[in-house]
Amino acid sequence: MSRSPKSYPSDRAEVAEVLIPPIGLVGSLRIPQQSRGIIAFAHGSGSSRFSPRNTYVAEALNHAGFATLLFDLLTQDEEADRSNVFDVPLLAERLTTALNWTFADPRTDKLPVGLFGASTGAAAALVSAAAFGDRIGAVVSRGGRPDMAAAALEEVRAPTLLIVGGNDQDVLALNRSALACLTCPKELKVIPGASHLFSEPGALDAVVAEASVWFTRYLSPAARNAREG
C-alpha cells in the first residue's frame, strides 16, 4: 500500500467517535471545515472501520473536503458468524440505519451524501442507494461485488462508479455484468496491474483519484440541482 496521507490538522476538522442507534454501531466521524458532502463507508468480508485501505481512502477524501463516516456494520458477536459478512440484506440494513443517523444529526444533516463500498459492502451500498433514491448523490465501489445487489441494481438512481483491479479478473467480470444492469449514470474504471486488494504501488492512489473526481462531480451543488430539477 502507498504511504498514508498526513492526518488532517485537528483545528481544521471535527473528529468524533460515535454510537449509531439502536444497537450502538461504533463509528468514526470526521468533518473538515466547509465540507462538500459526507461519504459513508461500507466495508465487507469481515473487515471493520479500522480497515487500512478504507482509512487511507477516507483520509484522502478528508483532504479533498469531504466528511467521512467509517463504522462497524456488525457487532462483535455477529462477526463471529462468518455467514453474516456475506449477508447483503443485513449489511444494507445496517448501512441504512447509519444513513438515517447522518440525515438526522445536526453536524451532517445538510451535507449531500455519497457511499463508498468495498467487497460485499459495495452490494450493501447499492441496495441502500436504491432504497433512498435521490437522497444518495453518488456511489463508488472498490473491488466490490455489486452483482450481489441483485434486483436492486435496476433501482439505483445515484451515479455509480465501479473501480476494479486489472488483475482481478473474476471480480472484473462480475462488475461488468453488474454495470450492464445499472440504469443510472455509471462507469467502470479498471486500474491496470492492480489486484483485488490494490496493494501494488500507486494502485490505491489511483482509487483515491477516481473516487475524488466522482464525488466532486456528483455531490456538487450544480449536480444536486440538476437531479432535483
All 3 cell numbers of residue 222? Answer: 450544480
137 within a domain of the structure (yes/no): yes
Q: What are phi and psi of 70, to 5 degrees?
A: -110, 130
Distance between CA atoms of 38 and 91, rounded to whole angstroms?
19
In the prediction, which pLDDT does 5 show?
40
Amino acid 50: pLDDT? 73
Nearest Cα to 186, choosing from 126, 228, 131, 112? 126
Residues of the chain with pLDDT under 70: 1-11, 45-48, 222-229
The boundaries of the domain holding residue 111 are 16-228
The closest of 141, 147, 158, 171 to 88, measured between CA atoms, is 147
Note the pLDDT of residue 52.
85
Q: Give the pLDDT of residue 222.
A: 66
Q: Domain for residue 158, yes or no?
A: yes
In a domain, 73, yes or no: yes
Whether the CB-CB separation of 224 and 137 falls below 8 Å is answered with yes
pLDDT at residue 7 in the model = 40
Q: Is residue 138 part of a domain?
A: yes
Q: Enter the pTM of the model.
A: 0.91
Q: Which of 160, 166, 173, 174 is nearest to 196 (CA)?
A: 166
How many structural domains comprise the chain?
1
- Which candidate, 197, 179, 201, places its Cα nearest to that of 189? 179
Cβ neighbours of residue 53 under 8 Å, at least 6 residues apart? 1, 118, 142, 197, 198, 204
Per-residue model confidence as pLDDT tens digits over 46-87: 566 777 888 999 999 999 999 999 998 888 788 778 788 789
Question: Does residue 95 contact residue 124 with C-beta atoms inside 8 Å?
Answer: yes
Give the 3-state secondary structure percentages of the chain, helix then strand then coil, rounded to 5. Answer: 45, 20, 30
Q: Phi and psi (nearest 5°) for 100?
A: -60, -35
Q: Is residue 1 part of a domain?
A: no
Q: What CATH code is carried by the domain that includes residue 112?
A: 3.40.50.1820
Structural domain includes residue 10: no
The answer to whether position 7 is within a domain reads no
pLDDT at 225: 59
In this predicted model, what pLDDT tens digit does every residue of 94-105 receive, in sequence order? Answer: 999 999 999 999
Residue 90 lies in a domain: yes
Q: How many angstroms separate the Cα of 132 from the Cα of each of 126, 152, 157, 178? A: 10, 11, 9, 19
